Amino acid sequence: MKKVLITVKATTATLNIGIGFRPDVVRVLNRTDLTGLYWNRDDITNRFGVTRAGAGDLAQAADAAHGLIVYAGGDKMTAASTTYLVKSEADQRAVDVAAGSKVTQFTIDTAANKTGHFNIDVVGATIGLGSKIYFDGDSAEYTITALTAGQGADSDEVTLDKSPGSGTKSVSRITSRWAYTGAASGKVIPEGFTLGASATVNDTDSDVLEIEAEQL
């Protein structure tokens, strides 16, 4: 049995998500508008999945563009992609900032609220809600629970799930808020599944998609 629970950004474009196996069951929750998509390999009647509207109504996904299909993988990227997604492992400290800048420090401002600030503002494209932060000399993992795009450098603009203590901390790594992001040029995409551009859960750019996929 294989299973992943991931977050990706909705784009209104067809997404090929290379999770490394062909799933038997996929559940997609759009955290932003609370729509959903459920797909089961053995459900021939609803072969592209069952959609759930924000009001809770269920409907058959009409075709692959409105639902989900298995992706065989094997495509090699000739350029960086935004629609072929692979596991995101790159440190974001120098990525989601102005050119030539880097997040190097985090200072606690209000320990009781678990809030503080970085040494610079972040763009907000990859560093944000859900990003993991690691500090030098601290084995704990911290998660950003609130951060507005284009902010971060002023007092109390960054909220963590727990306080790392008082003072200024040296930041050793920050992960992307998205578990899977666009593949780099030359990357061969693993097998996984394809989420249609017109799927209810994928019809608004930048919505947060929580995806659970299993191979039974």
Residue-wise pLDDT tens digits, 45-76: 999 999 999 889 999 999 999 999 999 999 99
The answer to whether residue 193 scores a pLDDT higher than 90 is: yes
Cβ atoms of residues 15 and 203 within 8 Å = no
Q: What confidence score (pLDDT) does residue 140 get?
A: 97
Region 86-95: mean pLDDT is: 94
Say if 49 falls within a structural domain.
Answer: yes
Tens of pLDDT, residue by residue over 103-112, are 999 999 999 9
Q: Is residue 93 part of a domain?
A: no
- Mean pLDDT, rounded, for 173-195: 96
Give the long-range contacts of residues 107-112, CB within 8 A, separation 24 or more: 107/167, 107/168, 107/169, 108/163, 108/164, 108/165, 108/166, 108/167, 108/168, 108/169, 109/155, 109/156, 110/156, 111/163, 111/165, 111/166, 112/163
Q: What is the mean pLDDT of the chain?
A: 96
The one-letter amino acid at 71: Y
Q: Residue 109: is it exposed, middle or buried by C-beta count within 10 angstroms (0-12/13-18/19+)?
A: middle
Task: Provide mean pLDDT across the span 91-97.
Answer: 96
Mean pLDDT to the nearest integer, 25-33: 97
**Which residues is 210 bridged to in the sheet?**
7, 29
Residues 116 and 9 in one domain: no
pLDDT per residue over 131-180, tens digit each?
999 999 999 999 999 999 999 999 999 999 999 999 999 999 999 999 99
CA 46/CA 1 separation, integer angstroms: 23
Q: Is the residue at 99 inside a domain?
A: no
The per-residue pLDDT for 208 is 95
19, 40: one domain: yes
User: What total number of domains does the chain contain?
Assistant: 2
Domain that holds residue 139: 105-174
Angstrom CA distances, 12 to 15, 46, 52, 148, 151, stand at 9, 22, 17, 23, 26
CA dihedral sign, ordered 111, 107, 154, 142: negative
- Taken as a whole, the chain contains a residue count of 216
94, part of any domain? no
Burial readout 143-162 (b: 16 or more C-beta within 10 A, e: otherwise): ebeebeeeebeeeebbbbee
- The mean pLDDT value for 31-57 works out to 96
Please check whether residue 135 lies inside any domain of the structure: yes
- Strands of the chain (E only): list them: 2-9, 15-17, 25-30, 36-40, 50-52, 58-60, 68-71, 84-87, 105-110, 115-118, 132-135, 142-146, 158-160, 168-174, 180-182, 192-195, 208-215
What does the pLDDT read at residue 19?
98
pLDDT score for 199: 95
- Looking at the structure, tell me whether residues 45 and 150 fall in a common domain: no
Phi, psi of 201 (to 5 degrees): -75, -15
CA–CA distance, 188 with 155 (Å, rounded to integer): 43
Regarding whether 61 and 28 lie in a shared domain, the answer is yes
Q: Are 209 and 132 in a shared domain? A: no
For residues 9 and 79, state if they share a domain.
Answer: yes
| pLDDT at residue 89 is higher than 90 | no
- Structure confidence at residue 141 (pLDDT): 97
Average pLDDT over residues 83-94: 95
Claim to verify: residue 166 and residue 200 sit in the same structural domain: no
